[in-house]
Structure 1
Amino acid sequence: MTDFAANRRDLLCAPLLAAAASAFGLGAARAAGVDPTQTIVKLPDQIPWQPLYNFPPGMAEQAPMFGQIGEPGQYFVLIRWHPGYMSAPHWYETDRLCVVLSGTWYVASGEDFAPEATVPVPAGSFVHRVAKTPHYDGVKSGVAEPAIIAISGLGPIHYHLTDTSKPGWRTV
């Protein structure tokens, strides 16, 4: 048989074989899809951003994704810091585990607010905030984009300022 005849036979038989395989349940495997009771998906436009604490609008937002920070149990929250703003020195009752998802987050430890001493933490980095230790963070002015940080821990937590005579945020 010539190559032309073999190719012609293959072209004629391929659709018949595919139809037969489909009829007998031998077709391509189908994806299971997503059962929303088993796998919960939130696309970026569905993330429930809301003001962070009582900070003025435009500084920072939070998006509770799982659990609640003020209730017992595990929580997972996203925080978005806009350039030019930082938290004042504060602490929490329990450890917080943080991953920078986008942008650069600037962090520091201690009770004295010194934004020039903050350390830049780029996207993909991990930060472990140890319980009951003062710290502050945010995004310096002049940076091009906000930083989004994923934070998980055990609640309940409360935002404890180290100096309650000043607001919980700073413009930098």
Structure 2
Amino acid sequence: MEPIDLNRRLILLTSMVSAFAPEMAHASPIDAHETFVLPREQITFKPWTAGPPHSGEMAPLYGDVNKPGLYLVMMKWNPGWFSAPHTYATDRIQVVVSGTWWVNSGPDFAPQDAVPVPAGGFVKRAARTPHYDGVPRHVKEPVVVAVFGMGPVDLQLSDPDKPAWRRV
């Protein structure tokens, strides 16, 4: 049997795609009650109320971090800020959307030992385990992290006598 050359493959593929194109042109519109779409340019970030001015922003996408149930938020961390070691009542699942996020575990604050997690990276925080994270001052761009979990988060500082946010 003779192998098919690249030009013949492209002709066959083009024929198959064009055969389906008329069907695709008559697709039904999306029903917003069944499939909600929020384009990236319409996601609104607002300064987070828990942090110092200019430390970061949050865009709630689904649910509420302070109420029972699932939530999804996008957090934008500005360079030069880390959270203090803290815990949450439930697990949190995070994906770095853009930039690089620095994370560490434990009750002792040592941002120089934090591990960089670049865009596309995944982080899971186990419930009631101390951790902290942020973006060092030398970084030029903020990081955006998608955070999913079950509310309420019930944030508890490892050392409530120290500031909840640290300038680094």
Q: TM-score range by the shorter chain?
A: 0.7 to 0.9
Aligned-pair identity (%):
49
Q: 2:57 matched to 1:61?
A: yes
Alignment of 1:7-156 (within 5 A): 28-29=22-23, 30-156=26-152
Report the more deviating stretch, 81-90 or 27-36.
27-36
Deviating above 6 A after TM superposition, structure 1's stretches of 4 or more consecutive aligned residues are none
3-state SS, counterpart of residue 28 of structure 1: helix
One-letter identity of the residue aligned with 2:123? V
Between the aligned partners of 2:57 and 2:159, the Cα distance in structure 1 is: 22
Per-residue CA deviations over 1:43-70 (Å, capped at 9, x if unaligned) read 2232131222421221111111101111
Between the aligned partners of 1:143 and 1:66, the Cα distance in structure 2 is: 29
TM-score for both structures, normalised by structure 1 = 0.80
Gaps of 5+ in 2: 1-20
Between the aligned partners of 1:168 and 1:53, the Cα distance in structure 2 is: 12
RMSD: 1.4
Between the aligned partners of 1:31 and 1:171, the Cα distance in structure 2 is: 52
Label 1:102 to 1:77 Cα distance change in 2 as closer, same or farther (>3 A).
same
Between the aligned partners of 1:52 and 1:112, the Cα distance in structure 2 is: 24
One-letter identity of the residue aligned with 1:28? P
Q: Which residue of 2 aligns with 1:20?
A: none
Gaps of 5+ in 1: 1-26
Report the more deviating stretch, 31-40 or 153-162.
31-40
One-letter identity of the residue aligned with 1:36? A
3-state SS, counterpart of residue 89 of structure 2: coil
Between the aligned partners of 1:87 and 1:52, the Cα distance in structure 2 is: 12
Q: How many residues align?
A: 146
TM-score for both structures, normalised by structure 2 = 0.82
Q: Which residue of 2 aligns with 1:21?
A: none
Between the aligned partners of 1:101 and 1:50, the Cα distance in structure 2 is: 17
Per-residue CA deviations over 1:16-48 (Å, capped at 9, x if unaligned) read xxxxxxxxxxx9222322222222111223213
